[in-house]
Chains A and B, each alone.
Chain A
Amino acid sequence: AQRVTQPEKLLSVFKGAPVELKCNYSYSGSPELFWYVQYSRQRLQLLLRHISRESIKGFTADLNKGETSFHLKKPFAQEEDSAMYYCALSEGIYNFNKFYFGSGTKLNVKP
């Protein structure tokens, strides 16, 4: 069953424009949601997680249990934000902290 859905394969915005990368999940328990980023030719790295409610590189994401969403937002996109972004869901310690990833969204920030 598809646990994490990222409906957009590619998102192109101009520098300085707001950006929102969508993520919806399907899970009956209490999920732990994450955003991972993969810059060109680099490994996956954690961007942020919902439990810490932090802002990293200007990005924020709010877990909306009613809409089962965890959209990633940034008010003013920068060219260096261009990368692949993956939303991930963890089933927590009761299932070995397994992660399930969405299909990813490529963000292209144009100058």
Chain B
Amino acid sequence: GAVVSQHPSWVICKSGTSVKIECRSLDFQATTMFWYRQFPKQSLMLMATSNEGSKATYEQGVEKDKFLINHASLTLSTLTVTSAHPEDSSFYICSASNPSDTDTQYFGPGTRLTVL
């Protein structure tokens, strides 16, 4: 099956610092990965689409300078929350599509970010 991992699983940082979250597809190559944000007891909100070798496309209302996305290889996408503030505290989830089954997205376990 398709497995997606995220690292770290949780992170606590001080306000004003930057935090990088990694998303890896472990057993397939993903040309496209997706980043979501999930607030407590709410649904997943699509933040951006990460495309290997090109710029990410952001959903309306998501600050691209705040949430930097880099898809450096076919198995790795990173999300960097820059100059983090307490309101950025959330659960960040990535997903990837297996090229052999592009209809379906496979999700990572998520990263809990807490900004103090």
Contacts and interface: CB of A to CB of B under 8 A. Distances in A.
Interface of A: 32, 34, 36, 42-46, 49, 51, 86, 90, 93, 96-104
Interface of B: 32, 34, 36, 42-46, 49, 51, 57, 93, 95, 97, 102-110
A32 B101 CA distance: 13
B49 to A, nearest CB: 5
6 nearest CB pairs, A to B: A44-B107, A103-B43, A43-B109, A101-B44, A101-B43, A96-B49
A27 to B, nearest CB: 15
Given A96-B49, A97-B102, A86 B108 contact: no
Nearest to A36: B107
At the interface, is chain B mostly helix, strand, loop or mixed? Answer: strand
Contacts of A43: 93, 107-110
Contact of B103 (A49, A86, A101): A49
B42 A100 contact: no
Nearest to A106: B41
Given A93-B102, A97-B102, A99-B105, 5 more contacts: A43-B107, A44-B93, A96-B57, A98-B49, A99-B46
Contacts of A99: 34, 46, 95, 105
A90 B57 contact: no
28 contacts: A32-B103, A34-B104, A42-B109, A43-B107, A43-B108, A43-B109, A43-B110, A44-B93, A45-B107, A49-B104, A51-B103, A86-B43, A86-B44, A93-B102, A96-B32, A96-B49, A96-B51, A97-B32, A97-B102, A97-B103, A97-B105, A98-B46, A99-B34, A99-B95, A99-B105, A101-B44, A101-B46, A102-B43
Nearest to B106: A46
Nearest to B4: A43
Contacts of B105: 46, 97, 99
